[in-house]
Amino acid sequence: MVKKLEQLKLRTMDFEEMQKSWQMQQAPQLSDIANNKPLQTLLKDRVKALQVKTLWTNILMTVVLCLTAAAFIFILRRTFTPNTRWFDVGMVVMFGAILLSALATWLKSVPWKNLKADLDSRAYISHSLKSFRFQQTSIKLITPIQMVVSTIGLNLIYLDIFWNESWKFRLLMNLGLVAVMVLVGGLSLYYSKLRHKELYEPIIKELEELEQKLKAD
């Protein structure tokens, strides 16, 4: 009998904790309604904020790309006298992959039309969804391909820089480069997925629900 009472008490405590958790999750929305701020307006503000964040991320990526290109062209290219054409081929391969990736991100993130921020507009919702979904496509497909091609380009540069070294040393340097790229790339993709799950997925879900509602109406 005592054991059953203890089990009933534990279940009651679990239910109370779940109820408190649910109330805490709903509290911000209830507060916003009390302040006469419609939930649709809140969603629009979140979409606009995420669009601005995406825009600044693209700008930062472009700046880093330009600085990296300048460092390779004006510092590395002049410091090391190329032994073969593999150096320039590697640079073209590497920056070509990065440039195409950056260009694709810009095309998806920046509207090609002057769309008004209106959640009653199917065009605005559709464009926002395409832009935000592309971040996930980039993480799963474009970024890994770009990293693989960039690694190939760097290996071609290494092949030229260590051209006069023994084949064992060259092999060791290339394998070391691949290991570093795999480690850095893996960590980058991991944190990109966490960031996408935290920032993009909730808004994508809400926009999809709103889009279905507009189609039904």
Q: How far apart are CA 83 and CA 90, in angstroms?
A: 13
pTM above 0.85, yes or no: no
pLDDT at 120 over 50: yes
44-69 pLDDT, tens digit per residue, is: 788 888 888 888 888 888 888 888 87
Residue 113 has pLDDT above 60, yes or no: no
DSSP 8-state code for residue 117: -
**If you ran DSSP here, which 8-state letter would residue 36 be given?**
T
In the chain, where the domains are located: 56-215
Q: Which two tokens stand for residue 150?
A: 């960039």
pLDDT digit string, tens, across residues 33-45: 444 456 667 777 8
Residue 83 sits at φ, ψ, to 5 deg, of: -85, -30
Question: pLDDT value at position 6?
Answer: 52
* 53 contacts 199 by C-beta, under 8 angstroms: yes
Interatomic CA distance for residues 155 and 87, integer angstroms: 9
Helices marked H in the chain = 2-34, 39-71, 77-79, 86-109, 122-137, 143-161, 167-199, 201-216
Greater model confidence, 26 or 215: 215
Residues 153, 124: Cα–Cα separation, whole Å: 39
Return d(Cα 184, Cα 192) in angstroms, integer: 12
